[in-house]
Chains A and B, each alone.
Chain A
Amino acid sequence: MSHAIGTTGTSYLDAPHGLASWLLTKDHKRIAMLYLISITIFFAVGAMFAATIRAELATPQGDLLDSDMYNKIFTLHGVVMIFFFLIPSIPAVLGNFLLPIMCGTKDLAFPRINLLSWYIFIAGAIITLAAVFNGGVDTGWTFYTPYSSIASESSVTVAALGVFVTGFSSILTGLNFIVTVHRMRAPGLTWFRLPLFVWAIYATSLVMILGTPVVAITVLLVAAERALHLGFFDPTRGGDPVLFQHLFWFYSHPAVYIMILPAMGVMSELVAAVSRKQVFGYSFVAFSSLAIAVLGFLVWGHHLFVSSQSIYAGLVFSIITMLVAVPSAVKTFNWTATMYKGSVTWESPTYWVVGFMGLFTIGGLTGLFLATMGLDIHLTDTYFVVAHFHYIMVGGAIMGYLGGMHFWWPKMTGRLYSEAGAKASAILVFVGFNLTFFPQFLLGYMGMPRRYHAYPPEWQVLNVLSSAGASVLAIGYLLPAFYLTYSLIKGAKAPANPWGAKGLEWTIPSPPPTFNFEDDVVVDEPAYNYKPAREVHVG
């Protein structure tokens, strides 16, 4: 791989100073940092709401909050976590930072649009905040009609507008990534030499630009219905309340893949790096990302098995859902096989990898219960679903995000953090997570419905376990805030390639100079080209 180390271009962090130079930057790395700071704040807000919910549920009576308040809090927890943290997390932070570097280019295709996306994102967040100060929203993040369109007296319109605006930010980011991957790859960097992270972000971007307009229109219809009483979803005016669910899940099911596909991409990079080995079955992993993105669009109806949708439609949705499980299983087996005969290090990224594998596997397999129509009848809208989607979104996506943050932090900031702290955090998150969410599978199986602010007393033990787990989890999440911040001040300077990993990003200094590469990049080898140092017998 030809590259340029050495010539000490000023790092992107040092280049021009001052707030304005950051707020008007067109550098993809600085924009990634802007996103990092914003979504970290939103994550903290969302987590505070989660803590409040768990505190309330420690006792069976609704004694901490009144039911109205409770409904508003779980709605905000969902809205903030999904639209303002999870969807932008890996794509907007790690994707923004790494995609141009991994493609061997100086920036994204449209640097100004990239900055614009961040401003739109912030604008969306401010509008949503306005809804909070305007009394809150109590519809759940799913905004189901006709409750949201005719019954709720909360600030649904403002919140819907916030989500609508935020959607444009995803669309622009996705567009930017797609054009960059198509047009700006370095000479010699063919599609099948791309890191798998780029494939995953590419597939995610396709989902973003195809799906997001649908949710944008859907929430706009709700706002319009509230303002003008148009009656799209109101049966007394000839509308169909279930139509909303189709429109909503047409985006929101693929949105789950917007959250998890990038994490899968991160895992592929991490597994290869910690085992110093080519990812097992590169093309299967690459194509399974595309397969998941495509199939993901065809399964929305599995949220509607008991919605009065026809049972034949249910049949089709159920079978396609089962099909999505296959590429996910393939990926899991391929990651596992990558470690076989690897040279596996036990540094902090490995801890996140192992944690991810455990949680994602449980999350994925419990999805099969829900895809099985006969069982979904009993489980849907119970805590089983809450547990399942937290295993995927929190166990999978956030483990992936944190794993990626730990892996690339030295590259992004030029500093090394405390390995001990990172390992402790990964372990606490893993233990706390299982303690929080595993009992919820049991609660769901026993029939505890979701979005309940009080519940029958016989379920208190499991709920207390879950709340206790949430405290452990919270500590696990808080730790990195300390040692990562500390590393910025006191951390040792990071070398260009602290993990001994392969990939263009490891060929440039940490932190990278403003224009990434001094010379033009030419790539002449496949991704993850670790050459065995000594003779290894391949069985």
Chain B
Amino acid sequence: MDMLYLFIAAISAFFVVLVAALVVIFAVKFRRRHAEDVGADIHGSLVLELTWTFIPFAIAMVMFVWGADLFFRLGRPPADAMDVFVVGKQWMWKVQHPSGVREINEMHVPVGRPIRITLGSEDVLHDYFIPAMRVKMDAVPGKLTTLWFTATTPGTYHLFCAEYCGTKHSGMIGQVIVMPPQAYEAWIAANQPSINLVEAGQRLFEHGQQCSACHKEDGSGRGPSLAGLFGSTVQLADGRTAVADENYLRESIVNPSAKIARGFSSPSIMPTYQGSMSEERLIELVAYLKTLRPSRSE
């Protein structure tokens, strides 16, 4: 990324200097000497104009391709990335590690490991921004978004909210603390709560929200079995298909009738959990659902 910065900065500097120099040189060299003088009768030159249409076009296309390539790489987390979940709320960042450790306005991560952040928002738009890692992503209410980075140097870095979110927007800041792997493990161990994210999700699924009353693993319940659902392609009742990603899982919980799986009737008999479940609980449930492998009977 920083190479691309340098490239564009160099091109920009070149053109600023070029235009400024030409303007000043022309304005001085061809300055009016007699009050009645007029300029030479030049109307244009097709060759010149096509040249300076084409060159900026070509340069812009190089920038585009380079920038798009970078964008795609930044948009695709590597498969082995470590998951961290973050929820924005006026005016704080709530962080949950897979181990169940929670923090507010701080995020501890190990150095050298790709970190994939799944972002949610409980109220309005926020934007998770770590300038040192060159990453930024909006936290959009009603949706989960993701970003990823790999920290290379231990240290403490700024964490900002970059999308205006009301009164204390500029106070919605925190720190990313990048630690050597052993120190990170030690930190997690020292803060280990009794229950990790997946277990918390499982507890909600089986007891807290009674999901398992309908969603039986062997498919005998009133709802579809959820085993092996994550990552699969779902046939919908209206003939479309959907990929069961995190957003699909989340949406199916808060608004079950939005996408109804084939074989289940509309209107859905599943209650909507809209408003009754916080973004953090949803993240726990989704984390749990992601671990459900296809059932043993297969």
Contact = CB atoms under 8 A, between A and B. Distances in A.
B158 to A, nearest CB: 6
A447 B129 contact: yes
A344 B129 contact: no
B219 interface: no
Given A342-B26, A373-B68, A368 B63 contact: yes
Nearest to A342: B39
A64 to B, nearest CB: 14
Contact of A339 (B16, B30, B64): B30
B12 A377 contact: no
Given A146-B141, A449-B161, A344 B52 contact: no
B170 A144 contact: no
A147 B30 contact: no
A240 B48 CA distance: 48
B274 A344 contact: no
A170 B155 CA distance: 53
Contacts of B136: 306, 377-378, 380-381
Interface residues of A, number: 96
Interface in A320-360: 322-323, 325-326, 329-330, 332-334, 336-337, 339-346, 350, 354, 357-358
Interface string A382-426: 100000000000000000000000000000000000000000000
Interface in A223-247: 235-236, 238, 240-242
A532 B41 contact: yes
Given A322-B64, A374-B70, A378-B134, A146 B170 contact: no
Interface in A124-155: 138-140, 142, 144, 146-147, 150-152
Nearest to A356: B23
B72 A341 contact: no
A451 interface: yes
Contacts of B48: 337
Contacts, number: 291
Interface stretch (B120-128, B191-199, B285-293): B120-128
A263 B1 CA distance: 34
Contacts of B37: 276, 343, 533
A369 interface: yes
A326 B125 CA distance: 34
B120 to A, nearest CB: 11
A217 interface: no
Contacts of B11: 365, 368
A530 B68 contact: no
Contacts of A337: 48
User: Main secondary structure on chain B at its contact with chain A?
Assistant: mixed
Nearest to A360: B19
Contacts of B26: 336, 339-340, 342, 344
B169 A344 contact: no
B68 A342 contact: no
Interface stretch (A88-96, A114-122, A277-285): A277-285
B40 A536 contact: yes
Chain B residues touching A, range: 35 or more
Contact of B23 (A138, A139, A326, A357): A357
B140 A241 contact: yes
Contacts of A311: 71-72, 75
B150 to A, nearest CB: 15
Given A365-B12, A447-B160, A343 B39 contact: yes
Nearest to A271: B23
Interface in B20-69: 20, 22-24, 26-28, 30-33, 35-45, 48-49, 52-53, 56-57, 60-61, 63-64, 66-69
A454 B165 contact: no
Given A147-B124, A322-B61, A538-B42, A453 B4 contact: no
Contact of B49 (A330, A340, A357, A454): A330
B168 interface: yes
Contacts of A362: 12, 16
Interface string B218-235: 000000000000000000
B5 interface: yes
B49 to A, nearest CB: 5
Q: Which of B49, B164, B166 has the most CB of A within 10 A?
A: B164
Contact of B4 (A68, A138, A314, A372): A372
Contact of A372 (B8, B49, B52): B8
B166 A147 contact: yes
B90 interface: yes
A343 B16 contact: no
B255 interface: yes
Given A344-B32, A346-B27, A365-B16, A375 B5 contact: yes
A340 B42 contact: yes
A340 B168 contact: no
A459 to B, nearest CB: 10
A152 B167 CA distance: 9
A449 B162 contact: yes
Given A329-B53, A343-B37, A354-B24, 7 more contacts: A235-B143, A318-B68, A343-B39, A447-B131, A451-B169, A455-B170, A532-B38
13 contacts: A67-B168, A147-B164, A240-B142, A278-B42, A333-B49, A341-B40, A344-B32, A345-B32, A372-B4, A374-B1, A374-B74, A449-B161, A536-B40
Interface of A: 62, 67-68, 71, 138-140, 142, 144, 146-147, 150-152, 235-236, 238, 240-242, 275-278, 280-284, 305-308, 311, 314-315, 318-319, 322-323, 325-326, 329-330, 332-334, 336-337, 339-346, 350, 354, 357-358, 361-362, 365-366, 368-369, 371-378, 380-382, 445-447, 449-456, 500, 530-533, 536, 538
